[in-house]
Amino acid sequence: MSTGTLLAIIIPIVVVLAVVAAAAFVVSRRRRLRERFGPEYERTVEDSGSRLAAERELSEREKRHGELDIRPLTGDARERYSRDWQRVQSEFVDRPEDAVQDADLLVASLMRERGYPTENLNQRIRDLSVEHGRTIEHYRAAHEVDQLSMKHQATTEQLRGAMVHYRALFDELLSDHGQR
């Protein structure tokens, strides 16, 4: 067999193998991102308008999250936050708007103590989505109601729902669920 014939056989095989390897990488990455981010994966795809752009965004979130100093709570801190949540929850009966606002502040405080930056809501959501992709929608929903409650436009049922939503993320953060 001549060198030209060998190259004519080997080059297409190498190209096909490279295409198969690239496709396997893309499928594997997509599966991993879907599993890690849960519903947040589809939301990001929808918001970005492109699966590739969404996957790039989610990968960037993972990279940023890896640079954060996320740490578990001490036992004392966990007990203190549990007591604080009970106080906020009991406040709901007499002052539901204040309770929702206090729940938002308590979740932000817990996030800060765990090592999450809390200055910007959108960045908070992106950072949390890496380890808490399945509950981040709760946080979005609760925060929307909190904004309504600050303008005295939230119904009691919306406020009650916000407390449930805050509690979902609060419990995950408190228990270190999803901790690396």
Specify the higher pLDDT residue, 8 or 108: 108
Specify the higher pLDDT residue, 40 or 29: 40
Cβ burial of 79 (10 Å; 0-12, 13-18, 19+) is exposed
Lowest-confidence pick of 40-44, 92-96, 97-101: 40-44
Q: Which tens digits make up the pLDDT trace of 60-78?
A: 999 999 999 999 999 999 9
Instruction: Return contacts of 94-101, CB within 8 angstroms, 24+ apart.
Output: 96/149, 96/156, 96/159, 96/160, 97/149, 97/150, 97/152, 97/154, 97/159, 99/159, 99/163, 100/142, 100/145, 100/146, 100/149, 100/154, 100/159, 100/162, 100/163, 100/166, 101/146, 101/149, 101/150
Cα torsion angle, 70, 75, 77, 82, sign? positive
172 contacts 136 by C-beta, under 8 angstroms = no
Distance separating alpha carbons of residues 40 and 37, to the nearest angstrom: 5
Lowest-confidence pick of 29-33, 68-72, 74-78, 152-156: 29-33
Specify the higher pLDDT residue, 170 or 35: 170
Q: Which tens digits make up the pLDDT trace of 46-61?
A: 998 888 899 999 999 9
Question: Nearest to residue 55, comparing CAs of 24, 34, 82, 25?
Answer: 34
**Mean pLDDT score of the chain:** 90
- Give the pLDDT mean for 95-123: 94
CB count, 10 Å around CB of 39? 14
Question: Taking 70 as the threshold, does the pLDDT of residue 179 lie above it?
Answer: no
pTM of the prediction?
Answer: 0.79
Q: What is the pLDDT of residue 93?
A: 93
Cα 169 from chain centroid?
10
- Give the pLDDT mean for 36-40: 87
- Give the pLDDT mean for 7-34: 84
